[in-house]
Structure 1
Amino acid sequence: MFKNVRLYRLGRPFGLDADALEARLDERRFRPCGPLETTTMGWSAPLGDGSTALVHAVSGCFLICARKQERLLPSAAVAEALEERVNDLETAEARDVGRAERRRLREQIMAEMLPRAFTRSRRTLLYVDTEAGWLVVDAGSDRQAEDVISLLRETIETLPARPPAPRMEPPKVMTGWLLNGDAPSDFQIGDACELRDVSDTASLIRCRGQDLGSEEILAHLRVGKQVLKLALSWDERLDFVLAEDMSLKRLRVGDALLNEIDDGDLEPAARMDAELAILALQLRELIARLDAIFGLVGDGDAGGTPDPIPQTEPAPAVSVPSSAEPPPWVE
């Protein structure tokens, strides 16, 4: 279900039950891009197109899904069409096309090309663990996660959530695990890591399929390199790569846990329900374990007294307006 994990600590109890959250999300339900829109973003059913519910609740967690659609209009295509039109004008009218006229031509070209541009959608799953006080986002980058968090904050009007600020520096802790061989007994070191020289941030070494206890790796650590990312297996339940920002990449549930839901007779919705229940409970325990090691909840970062979310009318659904500038070309 989740391939990546980015954590956000809730500053206070969430304050909405599943029904109230459903009502808020429905005000920002996803709709496709209009002919002249470059991007729209909203909420879709986490269980897929066969469902209409925007919130799936299980084990104290609310699973939701953000969907973003973009029109793919490469800047190179706009630039080429612009140059052709400018050349035609200059040839036909024997004059130079000024900067202001170029801008108008560019806007005109984009208005002509946008309705015919292909669209691409991306779904991002996330869930709120109301019992443990964490927001868990399946995002491979900070930008993707922040887009979703911003949408959720706009939708429910307030969301005091921020990334963990560990008291123990993750690179130093993970470097010690390799250099001293003193990783906690419930964590097994994998075969991949990323090392960086503290005195030269441009010096980066990526290792995969390696024995991380070998003399070659240890030699890099002894001369000052630190571990930025480290492949780990936790208690034979979850495999992942832990990064210095406490995000998890290449997350995979252990075979023993997968066997618990390896039932071909399960309907897709029932299977997803079982997967979420297992994943959420395991991640809840893993996050608590990481908190015990790294101190994820820094001073002054605890939940404190409940401050419920104001029950005002939600903002109307809006989309990102089209711009005169073409959307960035993302591979």
Structure 2
Amino acid sequence: MHPVPPESGLPSADTAVRLERVVKTYRDQPVLREVSLAIQRGEFLTLLGPSGCGKTTLLNLIAGFAEADRGEVFIDGQPVTSEPPHRRQIGLVFQNYALFPHMTVERNIGYGLRMQRVPKDEEARRVQEAMALVKLDGLGHRKPRELSGGQQQRVALARALVIQPKVLLLDEPFSALDKNLRGAMQVEIREIQRRLGLTTVFVTHDQGEALAMSDRIAVMSGGVIRQIAPPTELYQHPQDPFVASFLGDVNILPAHYHAKSAGDVQLRLGSGLISLPPARLLHSAHEGARLDVYVRPEHLRLENLHAASVLSGTVVNHVFQGDHVDTFVDVDLPMTARQILTVRHPGPGAMQQWPVGSVAGLALSHESVSVFSPER
């Protein structure tokens, strides 16, 4: 079992949602393994991980659609573990929006207010306010089938917001949208969330969405939180190989621990040695120990081959990606028969400077790497 990061479960006066050592099992298969998590008031927290990691189950425990086998759920400091969903004051936007096809936009948005028996004049006022907030003015009498995908998502969001929830839950809400609309809705939802100061929990398997939208990201795998931190910290300082590999692209280079010199750690990589700050080595190691060096493609660069080059290889392909170019280099490493590394350039210049078939040295930014013991 992987340890739960201690900071993920620490409550404070500003904690809006807290889970304490929650456990959930389906058909004898553990889905959540004693997960603790504290979400601050007004925070946009993302649960990120691959399918089956437990992120949707965790969201359902907060919403009340699933009940923990063990552990407690708190909202605004009050235990809600046994409370049904309608008593938790939760706003939820589903993956498929779950709009009522026979109702108009106004009726869909006002549904939660009618369930709360809000007076009709107040319902009408709050529905109009919610429609204005999500830019649906003038569409109140349309049915869902008469709306675009983005407009349907706005209806679902307005329906969640109109009840003035304590917590907004978003379950992969962009999966049905095309790329351009998805980006626009990310910006819009984040702007609304900030304006309202609304505590929000967002579930996604898309690393780009998580990095773009979150105050903090909880990376999940195998029913546990592997690391929880702001996006920049997660990307630059992953705590284990899974987080390093799952969040963004990464090259993994085999190395050996060589020695400690002048406070730095020396690793044997390729034909030479590299020196790293001790903080980059997240596991203790002895002389000769096998290690893996994780380095992002943008932290590698091609250079003219010279005697001091630690790594060298042959350029085998360039892939133009619009805002950057990925160059693939066939590198000869002592501990692997053959390895293709990805080098990321901010512009297309490398395609001319390093044509396919050219031989180059590779330099890496030592401050940007992470080093782990190989996963077994």
Higher relative contact order (CA 8 A, sep 6+): 1
Give the number of the structure whose residues are more often strand, by fraction.
2
Asked if Structure 1 and Structure 2 have the same fold, meaning a TM-score greater than 0.5 normalized by the shorter chain, the answer is no
Give the number of the structure whose residues are more often helix, by fraction.
1
Provide TM-score, normalisation by structure 1.
0.22
